[in-house]
Amino acid sequence: MYLSEDINIIFPIGGIIVGVILFIAGIKWFGYKRLIENIPTSKIRSIAMGLVEIFGKVIPIKNNLLNSPFSNTECVYYKYTVERWVKRNDRHHWQIVNSGKTSLPFKLQDGTGSVLIDPIGANIDIESTTYSSGAGNDPPLIIQNFLNSNNLNYEGFFGINYRMRYRESIIVPGKNLYIIGSATDNPFKADGTAQHSTEDIMIHRGKGNLYHISQKPEKSVIKSYLMKALGGLIVGSLMIIICFNILLNMFKNF
């Protein structure tokens, strides 16, 4: 087998591997969908240890807040990306040149009580706000300060602005959230000191992979996992079948 043939065989083998990964991911996402459907939404005062589903509004802890990088909004979580419109191999696409996220623990409160939330490791599904800049359109001053402090240029030759966009997602106090995650002992509360039972509980990412925080209602979360599952199963299956047939035809020609 020649070198070119060795290279050609890599692509269908790689396609099969990617297809298997997508298919397995589809099974996992479908399992998440079924799990969310089967777990009832609990009132916070009735939380039991284990996987729980709750809904309530965000309350900061002791007014401990962050300031988001682009809108300077007080929040308990932010995620941002800075992207530049670039040309590569005769094609244009958005390239991420900087990104980051920061979070603080916060409480979720409903009409029955509140519980501590550690958002680290969660799949956080919230809307983003997009800002842009380009020729004749400077980025907002706060974004210019952010870019300068991070040594990121938004201007090209002759001071003409690059075409760029800036995305920011935030969780602000008072926002209603749907959360499904693991309820365990609160490590920040000494045993026997809690005045209410939920003070000794924290929601976080447990041993299982399902930890979802969303501003969308439960039905929309279930639908999103269903669509991801169908995409993974269908695309993964097609990739496996197509690439396997390509391999068979290659070996028949030897």
pLDDT given for residue 171 in this prediction:
97
Tokens 């669509």 sit on residue: 227
Give residues with Cβ within 8 angstroms of 84, minimum separation 6.
94, 95, 97, 162, 163, 164
Residue 235 CA from chain centroid, whole number: 21
Q: Report the C-alpha gap between 18 and 15 in whole angstroms.
A: 5
Choose the weakest-confidence range: 37-46, 98-107, 204-213, 230-239: 204-213
Per-residue model confidence as pLDDT tens digits over 72-101: 999 999 999 999 999 888 788 999 999 999
Mean pLDDT of 161-180: 95
Residue 42 CA from chain centroid, whole number: 24
For residue 190, pLDDT beyond 80: no
Domain ranges of the chain: 3-252
pLDDT given for residue 123 in this prediction:
94
The contacts found for 93-100 with CB under 8 angstroms, 24 or more apart, are 94/165, 97/152, 98/150, 98/152, 100/69
pTM greater than 0.95 (yes/no): no
Per-residue model confidence as pLDDT tens digits over 24-57: 999 999 999 999 999 999 999 989 899 999 999 9
| More reliable by pLDDT, 178 or 155 | 178
